[in-house]
Structures are given as structure tokens and as C-alpha cells.
Amino acid sequence: MGSYLSIDLDYWLDHETRNSATNFFKKVLGLNTPVTFVIEHEELVSDMNKMKKLTRMYNVDYHSDIIAQSDKEETPQDYEWANHVNRRTKAEFIWIMPNVRCYADSLGTCHGDDENPFLKNINSGWESCRKKTGLRHIDLEDVERVGVCLSPCFVTLYPIEEVLKMLEVSYYKANQLVHTQPWNSKKRKRGVLTKI
């Protein structure tokens, strides 16, 4: 083991059915690994840094959330949190994007006009930095921890509605959210509803 699975619900932004998100989360929640929930993606960095040995970071996301290491900010931001993960120099970063347009049309890339961290001659801060299309590229058996970013300002409700029910999120709209305390996969118990 040694992989961290980071999931941003905006991955399903352009999906027209609920099946992909629902089926994926059934598998993820069945892993019996710690699951942490946050509102903004950069809030997961502290959870990622709890890993003693990190070999791979899967970023399931509409956006890459990584830039060239030379362009990183002092503190993690939503568009470059991956540049702040400890133990990254010996690990692989894999952006799992929903479709090739995210990269080809720059719809989901975060580097803008700066250096592209996915090019081999650019220092991303990771041992390697790759991109793949589709959830089939994730080795779930290797996942040690899971982080879920709810991204209320970037999601479309329909494709993730069943997932929100599974996670006991009862109200979801940009900047207004009622959700559970982090779901405890070890004890199979959910927390109390809390207004954010």
C-alpha cells in the first residue's frame, strides 16, 4: 500500500448519468480505509501528509490542481495543493480526469500560461507527473487513505445526487452545505449533521 486517493466531486461536472459516481463511491467506501471530507481541496493536504510512505497520489478531479514547482504559492491553494504534499519527490502524481478535453482544451489544467507540470522537463515537485482519462486507471487495492473534496462551488448536483445521499449530505448548493462529520469507514458509523 502507499497510494492516496483524492476525489473532488467536480470530476462528475459534465456527466449526464449518476451511475459513474454512485458505482465508484460504493467501491471506495467499501475499501475499509480512512476517509476524510473537506469543502475545499487544499484542506486535504494535512490528511495527505499523515501518510508515512507515499508512493502514488491519484487526483480524481476535473482540474489538475498542480503547477510547476517553481510557481507554487507559500500556502496551499485550490489550484496547486499538490505542490505542497510531503514525500512527493519519491512519489507519482496521477491526474485522473473525466475526459481528454480537460487537458487538450485546457479546461481543467491549472498552470495557465506558466510551465506545464506534465511535461518531462518541467519540475512538478513529484518523481513523475502523469494524466489519465477515466476511473479504470486507479488501483483501489493499493489505496491507504481517501480524501473527498465536496467543492460546492464547482459541482453539478444531478450526477452526484446519489453519492450525497450515501454520504448523508442533505443539502448541497454553492456556499450552503449541511453534511456529516467525516464518515468513519472503520466503524461503519456516520457522524451527526452539521451546518457549515
- Write the pLDDT tens digit of every residue in 120-167: 889 999 999 999 999 999 999 999 999 999 887 788 778 888 888 887
List, for residues 104-131, the tens digit of each pLDDT value. Answer: 888 899 998 899 999 988 999 999 999 9
pTM of the model: 0.86
Can you say how many angstroms the Cα of residue 11 is from the centroid of all Cα atoms in its chain?
Answer: 8
Q: For residue 24, report the phi and psi dihedrals to the nearest 5 degrees.
A: -65, -45
Q: Kindly provide the b/e burial profile for residues 49-86, where b requires at least 16 CB atoms within 10 angstroms of the residue's own CB.
A: eebeebbbbbbbbbbbbbbbbeebeeebbbbbbbbbbe
What is the predicted pLDDT for the residue at 183? 44
